[in-house]
Chain A
Amino acid sequence: MSGSSSGSGSGVGDGPGRRRVLAGAGGIALGGALVACGSNTGRGAGGSGPEISQWYHQYGEPGTQQAVQRYAAAYKKAEVRVQWRPGDYDRQTAAALLTDSGPDVFEVNGPLLDQIQGGQVVDLTAEVEPVKDDFNQAVLAPKIWQDRIWGIPQTVDLQLLYYRKSLLKAGGVAPPQTLDELVDAAGTLTTKKTKGLFLGNDGGAGVLAGTPLFAAGLSLIGDDGRAGFDDPAAARALGKIRQLYADKSLLLGAPTDWSDPAAFVQGLTAMQWSGLWALPMVKKALGDDFGVLPFPRDGSGGRPAVPVGAYGSAVSARSKRKAAAKAFARWLWVERTDFQQDFALSYGFHIPARLSLAKNAKQLQHGAAADAVRFATEHGHAEPLLWTTADRTAYQDALSRIIKDGANPETELKGVVRKVNAELQRVKKKSRA
């Protein structure tokens, strides 16, 4: 579950034209081709050496685009054209991968299991193998399917709980260590003008995802290959998120969503769940008046948890220059550690995916940043590859009903468990075929 660091990644503004959607699902057939026609695919004529197009989603931090263009220009064995793609990147790549005019090398919030099974991305095991152990294993694991590696982790993103020290002190509240304490603290800190906690405008169903389950000592998919939250502890933990909502301790309907620290910085809330990328902005606005926490543990078997994830660099199976594309991906995301460090830390604020880099980065050795790195190492959980979009939607819908409608967590979760187990059957059947 890697958060998009652009903040506005898929904001309110990029609704598709009505006509396009009205053309019905059939329009999809042409959608891919249209995307390809309507945009410069980055493969101009001329130049020496093979030409490779590389796609990035739009990062919000200034300088990132120039940086990736600089890296591309430094590669001598091929002419790399970088495409910086604003808007709904996941959907753009998904459509482009159906056509011949998509990218050769691209970053992806995945690759997803269906993309791997559908043969849309190529095997990068040979490229990563020599330094496999130097990657953060939590974020590398979801890139592996049947012992092959399908994407190279670029940087690690994580989400964590920001709290305002002065407000907690004024309210006589200690930084919460358990979910119960979080519920109490959020209630105490809620006043007429300030809410206790901000979990996103939807009340937390979207951003929290599996985190409360991890904090209750459970998992999304268990070691036995079945849904990992068929357990009373799951219903108990999710019921406490409902409690936060019912107590009116949650900030809802803020102008910016959880990925943006504005609500926290402007004092609309005393605590906010947000991404590591927000840390420089929070620090700039609040100085030392803030701290960070993992999601607090729940129950006797619980442990604190933070969700981690990584955009991966993948090579399209429809690329006409697969060898050159693979060589470039290895050069940038395996060999050029100087560029990897620059990419992670000079513009936005991410943890390098390579352990050796994360350990030595001086920006990550003090204060809240050092805490964050520790959380990522000790409490990091990534969404497993087998957790497909259908699973996520079913779970997220149930969580939303639990939080907002006060639906019974046990019955809601039972439905999700059934659906997840069926979906697991589907992907297993497909992998045998």
Chain B
Amino acid sequence: MSAADVRPGGPVARALGAQRRNLWFWVFVGPFAIGLGLFTYVPLVWSLYLSFFDAHNTVTPTGDDFVGLGNYTAMLGDGAFLSSLGTFVLFTAFIVPATYVLSLALALMVNRLRLARAFFRSVFFLPTACSYVVAAVIWKLSIFNGVRFGLANTVLGWFGADQTAWLSTTHPPWYWLVIVTVRLWLQAGFYMILFLAGLQRISPQLYEAAAVDGARAGWQVFRHITFPQLRATSVAVVLLLVINAFQAFDEFYNLLSDARGYPPYARPPLVYLYYTALGRDQNLGLGSAGAVILALIIAVATVVQARWFGLGRKEE
């Protein structure tokens, strides 16, 4: 490179941009862009590629292993995969409204407190800091274990009930109680904080105006003022809840798996794919096909949801 190149107006200087902005842009953005590409986009594309091959124990299948759409038809015809999608729909249909209602109720109650509001806010928020794995282990081993000295069984024992094997009973499906309570405990506090922030943004004048107009405190005010004013918060909360439900893995895996695998119930898609692709079978082709199907479902669901809520639309 000659001195002429670096002079103002030379090709290098042009590439660097005014005040070397281009250089600094890449210095700051580059590492993240590389990381994103290497750890997200390359695997994504590779996964798509693998999904067309019979890739047992290999990530570099040869042409002989090409099976076309075979993995997709196998996965869509696989009762276990379809039932895992059903599990997931059921779980989402329950956990999203349940968390929504619980965290909103907590927020309304904490918001009305005059004394020790910060204390209760912190207390309800604390579980958010706990890891899913740790909470699942506590739920499994201490609270909902199946023997007589488990917390739940001890309490029931005072009333003369028999011990229940919470995680092993499918009729009735007590395992859902364990799975849902652990997630409620973990995440309700976080969404409560979001709702609290939303509640504090509502102008007091609205309530005053309502009182002047004769609205009764309680349900009427909530129905016509508080709830509509929380719309933006509600949309964010529901979106986050659904995304979190899509990602359900930790508590399921830690509550129900054992050294011999995973029972055929309460098995969400990620757990099922985890065993298919990364289990001893190492059926990476089939697992990738499942992952692509799941990704498509999530994409469609997200788009529909965004349309439904009018996400990103300007508020009138």
Could you list which residues of chain A lie within 8 angstroms of chain B, going by C-beta atoms? 4, 9-13, 15-16, 18, 21-32, 90-91, 94-95, 97-98, 109-110, 112, 114-115, 117-118, 120, 193, 200-203, 205-207, 209, 248, 251-255, 257, 259, 268, 388-390, 392-393, 396-397, 400-401, 404-406, 433
Contacts and interface: CB of A to CB of B under 8 A. Distances in A.
A71 B73 CA distance: 50
Contacts of A390: 281, 283
Given A15-B133, A257-B258, A393-B261, A24 B170 contact: no
B170 A97 contact: no
B122 interface: no
Contact of B44 (A26, A98, A117, A254): A26
A193 B288 contact: no
B171 A118 contact: no
- Which of A4, A18, A200 has its CB near the most chain B CB atoms (within 10 A)? A18
B290 interface: yes
A24 B47 contact: yes
Given A26-B47, A91-B279, 5 more contacts: A10-B258, A12-B257, A30-B39, A202-B258, A203-B168
A114 B133 CA distance: 32
Given A26-B46, A397-B264, A202 B280 contact: no
B247 A24 contact: no
A109 B25 CA distance: 51
30 contacts: A10-B258, A12-B137, A12-B254, A13-B137, A15-B249, A15-B253, A18-B247, A18-B250, A24-B43, A25-B284, A25-B290, A26-B50, A27-B43, A28-B277, A28-B278, A29-B46, A114-B56, A114-B57, A114-B281, A118-B58, A206-B259, A251-B146, A253-B166, A254-B146, A388-B281, A393-B80, A393-B261, A393-B281, A396-B260, A400-B264
A390 B285 CA distance: 14
A29 B263 contact: no
A91 B259 contact: no
A236 B254 CA distance: 33
Contacts of A27: 39, 43, 47
B274 interface: yes
A193 B162 CA distance: 10
- Which of A11, A21, A388, A401 has its CB near the most chain B CB atoms (within 10 A)? A21
Interface string B109-145: 0000000000000000000000011001100110011
B15 interface: no
Contacts of B280: 90-91, 94, 109-110, 112, 389
B167 interface: yes
A10 B57 contact: no
Nearest to A388: B281
